Amino acid sequence: GAGVSQSPRYKVAKRGQDVALRCDPISGHVSLFWYQQALGQGPEFLTYFQNEAQLDKSGLPSDRFFAERPEGSVSTLKIQRTQQEDSAVYLCASSGAGGGTEAFFGQGTRLTVV
């Protein structure tokens, strides 16, 4: 596609519910990142994929968070048993080869846990 696409744009979940957030990166982009952005803050790194391999998941806040990219394109971020502190905007970004190339961001999914 022309840009990074994320769905849904908004998600309201009841506390304890599982959610799945989807990211469709720019076609051909090897690298894919997930970030969490709390209100009024900068994006915080969650995890990174190079093709289908998850090379870094050090930013995932708990074992309730799980991300996958099984075929090296679309990625899903899953949050189990959501808590109020999970409320944030979840941003996905993709980039081509390394070397500090530009990361292209999607519009994010705003998750509200009630």
Residue 38 CB contacts under 8 Å (≥ 6 apart), including other chains: 44, 88, 89
Q: Which of 41, 52, 85, 112 binds other proteins (CB under 8 A)?
A: 41
Distance CA 73, CA 51 (A): 7
Contacts of 44-53 spanning 24+ positions with Cβ under 8 A = 46/77, 46/90, 47/77, 49/75
Q: According to the binding rule CB under 8 A, does residue 89 interact with other proteins?
A: yes
Q: Which stretch binds other proteins (CB under 8 A): 15-23, 68-76, 77-85, 87-95?
A: 87-95
Contact between 21 and 11 (Cβ < 8 Å): yes
Q: Which of 33, 65, 79, 113 binds other proteins (CB under 8 A)?
A: 33
Q: Which of 31, 75, 82, 94 binds other proteins (CB under 8 A)?
A: 31
Residue 2 amino acid letter: A
Nearer to other proteins, 18 or 101 (CB): 101
Q: Which of 91, 94, 111, 113 binds other proteins (CB under 8 A)?
A: 91
Nearer to other proteins, 87 or 107 (CB): 107
Nearer to other proteins, 15 or 55 (CB): 55
Nearer to other proteins, 42 or 70 (CB): 42
Q: Say how far residue 92 (Cα) sits from the centre of its chain.
A: 4
